[in-house]
Structure 1
């Protein structure tokens, strides 16, 4: 096999990995929500479950969070990118994604001892929240500073604008999380916004949208 064919295969593989990561990020909030609604039809939930709804909270009642986020995390850890820095950042994001799953959050549905390591829920929640922040900070960095690299072109310019909007959007979502303004299902809404920006960024980088594709992606 020629070196050119090898490079073409690697580029196609990288695009598929990016698109898979973006797709999983986009569907995670809604599959988790649908799963929780379906479970709610068969059994009651603790008081406050829906008012404090988060994607992480659905861990206790339906499996999509574990299945989808674990898969997305493995995909991120397998992503090489263009250089070692790409690989390290995405691999770290994948590790923190797995930690979100392994260390569940504290919520009305949680027991005193939770997760794979059976830790007190307050300790698990601290690790969970720190991992989630690190996860989105790393993905924001990827979108703002890694995805925007490369030779310039008219389409690349448009894509860079999208990458920057997505990176800033994820950071704004994190900021909104700590602002002391409460509304129904605030955490879920903010998480869904952040994951949508993540998904769009990776789908654009993976050239899922044909009208933005060029040979200089």
Structure 2
């Protein structure tokens, strides 16, 4: 029986890390570039609103990259829909691309843009939000139901509060709470940029789960014991 190729494990770790960094980096890049006068873009009320700004390419390009990476990702297969990582990541990838290229309805003055579907169709906004809700919902399912499958356990190492499964569940539940809060915040406008901040937090928790799954912090020494219940001596 042939041994599994270790390069496959490292490839998937890098892919997970890339997805995590892109998720966390998207709001950081958009807001950061908004603060630079040369881009002539104000901080927008939501991430989706950047579609109609000079930073549109960063918005669409990053989401498209996340979508393609997730479609390329070979997740855990399971008979249960809610634990089938392969199916869930494929759906999430399609939703991410949909969010990128099917825009929210413009508000107020905005620059003219060319889109695959004319953005002035009123039903596009509903489709955009449906894709976004499904995308974040699948992010939560992946963290809670899929990432917690198949953890390698060393019975002689106690389960830490910082165990990876605890982090995945916390991130997934936080995303679910934020999904509920987003439409409420958008309707009542609790504070300036409330939608943008809640979306950024959801992406932060999404990215954190993928980075931990991709072992971006390493898995040697105390980190390996606390996060992964593994003893990997530092090289």
Q: Common fold, TM-score beyond 0.5?
A: yes
Q: Which residue of structure 1 lines up, in the alignment, with residue 195 of structure 2?
A: 187
Counterpart CA distance in 2 for 1:118 and 1:109 is 17
Q: CA deviation at 1:98?
A: 0.4
TM normalised by structure 2 equals 0.79
**Which runs of no fewer than 5 residues in structure 2 stay unpaired?**
79-83, 154-158
Which of 215, 218, 233 pairs up with 1:207? 215
TM normalised by structure 1 equals 0.85
Answer whether contact 2:63 2:97 (CA < 8 A) is retained: yes
Higher share in helix: 1
Q: CA deviation at 1:213?
A: 4.8
Moved over 6 A (4+): 111-114
Q: Secondary structure at the match of 1:4?
A: coil
Q: How many correspondences in the alignment?
A: 208
Which of 159, 169, 183 pairs up with 1:178? 183
Q: Deviations over 1:154-210 (max 9, x none)?
A: 369711110011001111111111225421011110100000000000001111122
Q: Which one has more relative contact order, counting CA pairs under 8 Å at least 6 apart?
A: 1
Structure (1 or 2) with the larger CA radius of gyration: 2
Q: Which residue of structure 2 lines up, in the alignment, with residue 36 of structure 1?
A: 34
Q: Which residue of structure 2 lines up, in the alignment, with residue 57 of structure 1?
A: 49
Counterpart CA distance in 1 for 2:183 and 2:76 is 34
Q: Which residue of structure 2 lines up, in the alignment, with residue 69 of structure 1?
A: 63
Are 2:172 and 1:167 equivalent residues in the alignment?
Answer: yes
Counterpart CA distance in 1 for 2:28 and 2:39 is 19
**Which runs of no fewer than 5 residues in structure 1 stay unpaired?**
none
